[in-house]
Structure 1
Amino acid sequence: MLMTKEVIVKWTNRVKRHYEEKGYLFSAIGKEFVCKVEHLSQGSNAGVIVKCSVCGDDCEVKFSRYNQIVQNQRTYRCHRCSARRVGKMKKTPILIVEEAFKSMGYILLDKGYKGNSQKIKYMCPQHGEQVGTYAGIKKGHGCIRCASSLRANRQRAPFSEVQKLFDVRGLILISKEYFNEDTLMIFICPKHPEKEQVTNCAKLRAGWGGCRLCSNEGRRGENSYRWKGGISKLQEIARHTMIYSWKLESLAKANYRCDVTGMNGKLDIHHLYPFSDIFEQALKNTGIPIYDKVNQYTEAELEVFSKELSKIHFEKGLGVCLLPKIHKEFHNIYGKIDNNPEQYFEIKPYLMKKYKVR
């Protein structure tokens, strides 16, 4: 129903003749005048108020649009009511919708179907309750998780290829299930059959991820990049037992407190000169041979070496007591090779400021 009675329009060359025939007195192009709504031209863009014949709401539309709707529908419906009418006309019967879901192996759970684009619940036999639309089902778009599984199956390498990866590395594959490159697979190394190990295909393709025990053996002893002729075991014993008196005197001199913070507790003894350099100097001075194992040395050789190592330590001066975290930070900055006293005294003010020492 048209609610507007009069509207304001402008004189234009296009409508001048129309309104003069309706009895309106022309004034000037572009000038406004009041016109009754029934005298408007069919294509007028003047805004009018119309009542929806369905919901009864007042709507503002162009007069030309109102005429077009009335001619097609014989009555005016607002935008919302028109959409509902179109939706009802296009709505697929619920039985057809159920059959579409059933054809893909799904069970329709939501019976309140309103339109093709409405999200409705359905049951997937493999992955449980899902949400989708009838429009999507018609296009073949079903359960997302099923689609992911299908895509994964197409991209998954055949088990024979997986078996070949282990065979090439000389490993015995135990697992029989393979899902993707990251699947952990159980295997046994022929050299270490007493222990089952795990890896995945991604690691094997990258050239690693084989037997860890074999890898560790390949980095020990003479195979290690740090191999120095078999002195590591002797060096460990020397560090922990042969310089004990030097450590005690270093702690006593510092009153068992950190040189940076003044705090007591667990302390490291920092060498102002690298321990490795002192150790090699002691080996050179004593001239004792280098053996693979410490038990190959005689007690006399160890005693001579111990005295020489301790003597050089005291000649270089006592160590500096530091909290473990400060000791670690020093070596993170300067490394563990070619250290000297100048480095420590250079960094000490910075460490004192960082740890708020007054």
Structure 2
Amino acid sequence: MAITYEDVEKRFSEKGLMLLTTKENYRNTTERLAFFCFAHPYEVQPGISYHKLKSGYGCYSCAKIARADNRRTNYAEIKAAFENRDYELLTTEEEFTSTQIPLRYRCLKHPDAKLKPITYHNLLKGKGCRPCANERKAEKLRPKYFIIAKKAFEDQGLVLLDEFYVDAKTKMAYKCPRHPEQVQHKTYDDVKRSGCPLCTNEELSVRQRSSQEEVATKCLALGFRIRDGQEYINAHQKLRFECQKHPEVDYMTNTDNILNGHGGCAKCKSENISVAQKLNFKEGRQVVRRGKDNLAWRGGTTEINYYLREREKEWKQKWLKYYNYTCVISGDRGGKLHVHHAEPFHILRDSVLKKLGLPIYQTIGEYTEAERIKITEGYDEQLLKIEGFSIKEEYHKEFHRIYGKGSEANRENFILFKNKTASELWSVKVISEPGSSMPEMF
């Protein structure tokens, strides 16, 4: 049966197309027929025969979309692929248009990580969360880095106890052959710069320790002699001393007590008790030792010293803040810090009283109200001219142990002490860490 023009027109209509070739121009089913696609009204169609139309051909753009729909991965499959990687797909099904657009997601292992959107094809290639990738890379490299870390510990003369390397910031257990009883911990970054801290402290102690001859000379100047046959190790070690005034007296104490005036001969102490006090003891009366009769008597200035030092709180805070609460010797911030006077306190106190023409009384109460005002104003004025240095307690004690608290405890000697101690302290850091440099405070 012959195919009429009406049959052809009906077939085009069923395909969603409109036949443009007129009935007068229609000849047969093999010639190209012009048509119009309602889905793509602005596109020029090349024309198609009736036989091609029956075989499934039609609008080129519609065919392209159909092929894309057949090949397109559905949203459920893409979501499952993300979940298999422990990711949560944030792009909704309404927002999803094709696999070519980047998709937003979140890693369940690293929920706080900021991740860039990724396409589905890149996901299939193995790309994804950067922290996860770094962890996988680190896992592969850990055996290699463990060997490097172990060698770093061995180079410092240490024995590594851990058998697993995490990262350069995680501490690892080790033992020092010189201190085998103690298990210590260090990171790989730290062990590259320094070794056992106990060994370092011992080396610093040896370098800073005074010789036995120096200590013996200082003690002898105070009237005490170290008994023969004793080896001096440190200032806290107890030794047997002999009093020069009473050589028959033999007692134990440490050099720190001797040099700071806290240790002494019991007979010397008893001789300081006045005759009146001895009479009081003999008669059984209660004894209240005041003034020169008190064993702690230091010229009657204890209470005035306390009174004036109480006025230094703001001055001390000023210099601590100036040095940012940092020790001028070690460069360490915080801890127990003292403020060292560039000029000794007693010289500052005496200069104020001398300028006012006042004597040194035992207590501040022995001065009149007008005199007290003049003393405090004069002291505050002098204190503003004095420089202070933020320094750790141990270095402050060591400085006064060497130079005392008299005129030798001046600014010039402090600078010498600061430079010497700091250079010895930082030489260890400079050797183990070439990039280190000594702190410059003043």
- TM-score computed with the length of structure 2 as normaliser: 0.37
- TM-score computed with the length of structure 1 as normaliser: 0.44
